[in-house]
Each structure stands twice: as C-alpha cells, then as structure tokens.
Amino acid sequence: MKILIHVCCAPCFTYPHKRMLEEGHDVTAYFYNPNIHPYREYKNRLESVEKYVELKGTKVFYDNNYDIENYLRGALAAEDRCTFCYTGRLEQTAKMARQLEFDAFTTTLLISPYQKHDTLAQIGKKIAEQSGIEFYYEDFREGYQESRNISKDLGLYMQKYCGCIFSEKERYFPQL
Ligand code: SF4
C-alpha cells in the first residue's frame, strides 16, 4: 500500500518505517505538529526528521502550519487535550493522504507506550470512516526499545517530553 505516515518525531518513526518497508509498503512521511512547544523544541524535532529522511532517502512532506494559537485555544477548551491533539493531527494527515491519492494514513504515535494507544486507534478508525481513506493500524509498541536503540546509533535528537507546553510542565514542574 501507498501509506502517508504522520511523523511526530524521528525516533518514533524509525521502527514503524522499518516494519512497513519490510511488509512491502511504499512509505511517505508527513511532519505536522503544531502541538510542539516551544518553537526551538519544534525546530529540534523537525531537524531530526530532516536528518533521518535524508539518511534513509525517504519521501517526506513538511507542513509548516505552526498554528500554536489555534492549538492552545483548542487544547485549553478540550475535555481531554490529548484527544484534541491526536484528532487535529490525524485529520490533517487523512486530508493530505486523500488529496495526494495515498491508499492509507497512519501515525508514529502508535509506537509510544506513553500515548493513549486505544484512543489513538479509535480516532484513526473514526477519521477513516469520515474521510473515506483507510487507517493503517499496527501496534508498533513492541518496537519501542528498538526505536530508541536505532535513534541512539544514528545520533537522532531525543526529546524529554511529549510535545505541548502542558506536558513540559508535567515533566519538569516539581511535584511536592
Ligand atoms: S501530552 Fe502530547 S498528545 Fe497530549 S496534548 Fe500534549 S503534545 Fe498532544
């Protein structure tokens, strides 16, 4: 299948990329992450993806619509900010996949044991039904450690928090 994969960061892309190539898919990366703050962190992750795709000769699209204002408004108003965050990124990926005539879309977020995996899978499925483009689901979590090892070997930047400013606070704010 011709698959457009939403890429949250280079380390999380490594293993799903390898898996999907082994399965014979034609994989194109799509970087779209207005949730990542601050901007220098966003740049670090973007540059890391640039480095990885260059090393691997992978096709890639960069969506530089870094609309943090809209993201923050939505995240603050949402009942569950991660659901809002997943939905926005996956909807945009599905839209691009449809426009560019891919067979399916997916996301590297499916590798992380720190994400709400079942929520992600449900959102992907729902967007697939609404948009008419298949959601490629695979539980990549078994490859999480391998993805860290590959990233270390390639010298890829590895972030310390999920992405948004709220997750940065959760990571560093002293818990009394
Ligand atoms: S914690 Fe991660 S998934 Fe949740 S809203 Fe923040 S960046 Fe998005």
Tell which residue, 66, 58, 21, has the closest CA to residue 39: 66
Residue 38: how many CA atoms within 13 Å on its side-chain side?
A: 2
Using DSSP, state whether 135 is helix, strand or coil: strand
- Ligand 1 mean position, distance from CA 167 (Å): 6
- Ligand 1 mean position, distance from CA 18 (Å): 25
What CATH number has the domain bearing residue 160?
3.40.50.620
Q: What is the domain count for the chain?
A: 1
Distances (CA, A) of 111 to 71, 81, 90: 23, 19, 15
What does pTM read for this prediction?
0.96
Judge if the beta carbon of residue 29 lies within 6 A of ligand 1.
no
Kindly report the number of other CB atoms within 10 A of residue 57's CB atom: 6
Q: Whose CA is nearest to atom 3 of ligand 1?
A: 82
Judge if the beta carbon of residue 112 lies within 6 A of ligand 1.
no
Q: Name the band, by pLDDT with cuts 50, 70 and 90, for residue 173.
A: very high
48 membership: H or E segment, kind and range:
helix 39-56
Strands 2-6 and 26-31: parallel
**For the segment 13-55, what is each residue's pLDDT rounded down to a tens digit?**
999 999 999 999 999 999 999 999 999 999 999 999 999 999 9
What is the pLDDT, as a whole number, of residue 137? Answer: 98
Q: Whose CA is nearest to atom 2 of ligand 1?
A: 162
Kindly report the number of other CB atoms within 10 A of residue 72's CB atom: 17
Judge if the beta carbon of residue 163 lies within 6 A of ligand 1.
yes
Task: Report the amino acid identity of residue 138.
Answer: E
pLDDT at 67 exceeding the cut of 70: yes
Domain span holding position 104: 2-172
